[in-house]
Structure 1
Amino acid sequence: MNGRTIIALVFGIIGVAVLVWLGAWQVERLAWKNSILAQIKERIADAPVPLPENPEPERDKYLPVQIDGTFGDEALRVLVSRKLVGAGYRLISPFETGGRRVLVDRGFVGVNDPVPAPRGGNVTVTGNLHWPDDRGSATPENDTGGNIWYARDIDAMARQLGTDPVLVIVRKLSQPEQGVTPLPVDTAAIPNDHLQYAITWFALAVVWAVMTGYFILRAQAARKGAGR
């Protein structure tokens, strides 16, 4: 075995080791993320509690709550898309409860469907507190004049509707709305790509090993041919 072959073998072993380590790390990350998602799912499904006096994003994210009161007449429309359904709007309306006025995400209507007026009279809302992060670098600015919002900007919506910057996403209403489909909080939007990353790193390790073996075998065959 000459020097070039030894260098290729060492380089191959190091490369495979690094790629396998990266794959194993992603497997560990997958287990960690699955544990986090399980905790979030458990929290979302907990028994609802009264609305906290001063909700905090870090402490109260996904907190199940139950509030009694009445909807205001307004409805802000947030443009969204649902798989197998298409484009539509989330409807965000003000809600009077216990002397407070908060935001309630009522659910989804199709983009060509009429926007129903909120349910009248006293209503019990069961849902989850949420501070969604809808805005990305490519998200357009909200068209507040045309009442088309591209992100649930809680502070801006609260100013528009004169509410506290608190959002409850409906899971269930005591009197369901006709034509509005609730979109409860879930973990579907939380990325969990660690399995794909792990498979990619392990696949690259196999390719690296095969290519290293091919290079060494080819080099040895070339030496034998030259020695004849």
Structure 2
Amino acid sequence: MRRVPIVPTIIVTVAIAAMIALGLWQLLERRPQKEAFLAQLAANPTRPAIAFPRFPDEALLFRRTRAFCLEPMSIMRAGAGAAGYRVIALCRTGAEGPGLRVQIGTTRDPVGKVAWGGGRVSGWIAHAPDARPLIATVTQPNAVRELMLVADHPAAGLSRNAPPSIESIPNNHLAYAVQWFLFAAVAAIIYVIALRRRDKRLPEGETTKP
């Protein structure tokens, strides 16, 4: 009877156990946490309005908010799917601080000039467009993202913003768990196949060292 190599088997077993543990973590811990977080976000639109937060806090997503834009420093466009483009102003709010991004409306015009002088603005808290490269969004999915104010009244010449939707917040932890379980199964199958092929290559009656 041919002996199973001990060291490779231990390495593969540990790797498979780690994959299964990661799958259980996604399923039993991360998924319930995300569901509780989404339930909190779903209730945020009904809570009282607050001043726009100075620093990112995702627990405040979809809350009603207000701010004052002293001066728009620049205006940019970002894709908005069927709505065309989101028009976003970067505002100065004081001598210091991170400033404020305000989505002042949507447009289908990719180049037209937008005239907006700032002032008091109200709306909802939402994620600002993610300017990170694709590799960063994959390797750092839980990185803190910048927030912006989505105005409830559009600037002149622009269309009204759609209120931020909780559908924009993914809940992929069940899929992540399934992926880890599949990785574990594939690793086990590949190792079993490798052992069988090794046995076929060995002369009859020969054993390998552990």
TM category (shorter chain) comes to 0.5 to 0.7
1:61 aligns with: 60
Measure how far apart 1:76 and its partner are.
5.2
Letter in 2 for 1:34: E
User: Partners of 2:88 and 2:163 in 1: how far apart?
Assistant: 11
Structure 2: runs of 5 or more not aligned: 93-99, 135-145
Q: How does 1:35-114 map to 2 (within 5 A)?
A: 35-43=36-44, 45-49=45-49, 51-52=50-51, 56-57=54-55, 61-62=60-61, 63-65=63-65, 77-87=75-85, 89-90=87-88, 105-112=103-110, 114=112
2:123 aligns with: 127
Letter in 2 for 1:203: L
Greater displacement, 183-192 / 193-202 = 183-192
Measure how far apart 1:107 and its partner are.
1.8
Distance 1:208 1:92, change over 3 A: closer
User: Partners of 2:89 and 2:186 in 1: how far apart?
Assistant: 50
Measure how far apart 1:129 and its partner are.
4.2
Q: Are the counterparts in 1 of residues 101 and 128 from structure 2 also a CA contact under 8 Å? A: no
Distance 1:20 1:211, change over 3 A: same
Q: Kindly provide the CA deviation profile for residues 125-180 of structure 1, in whole angstroms up to 9, marking residues without a partner as x.
A: 76224684755479xxxxxxxxxxxxxx99xxxxxxxxxxxx6422x44x997741
Distance 1:14 1:185, change over 3 A: same
> Which of the two has higher C-alpha Rg?
1
Structure 1: runs of 5 or more not aligned: 95-101, 139-152, 155-166
The yes-or-no answer on 1:22 pairing with 2:54 is no
TM-score (norm 1): 0.55
Distance 1:40 1:169, change over 3 A: same
Instruction: Classify the secondary structure of the residue corresponding to 2:103.
Output: strand
Distance 1:129 1:218, change over 3 A: closer
Distance 1:78 1:41, change over 3 A: farther
User: Partners of 1:133 and 1:86 in 2: how far apart?
Assistant: 14
User: Partners of 1:8 and 1:73 in 2: how far apart?
Assistant: 64
Q: Are the counterparts in 1 of residues 104 and 155 from structure 2 also a CA contact under 8 Å? A: no
Q: Are the counterparts in 1 of residues 16 and 188 from structure 2 also a CA contact under 8 Å? A: yes
Q: How does 1:100-179 map to 2 (within 5 A)?
A: 105-112=103-110, 114=112, 127-129=123-125, 132=128, 134-136=130-132, 168-170=149-151, 172-173=152-153, 179=158
2:161 aligns with: 182
Percent identical pairs in the alignment equals 20
TM-score (norm 2): 0.59
1:158 aligns with: none
Q: Are the counterparts in 2 of residues 88 and 111 from structure 1 also a CA contact under 8 Å? A: no
User: Partners of 1:42 and 1:91 in 2: how far apart?
Assistant: 28
Measure how far apart 1:5 and its partner are.
3.8
Q: Are the counterparts in 2 of residues 109 and 115 from structure 1 also a CA contact under 8 Å? A: no
Root-mean-square deviation (Å)? 4.6
Q: Are the counterparts in 1 of residues 84 and 107 from structure 2 also a CA contact under 8 Å? A: no
Distance 1:77 1:185, change over 3 A: same
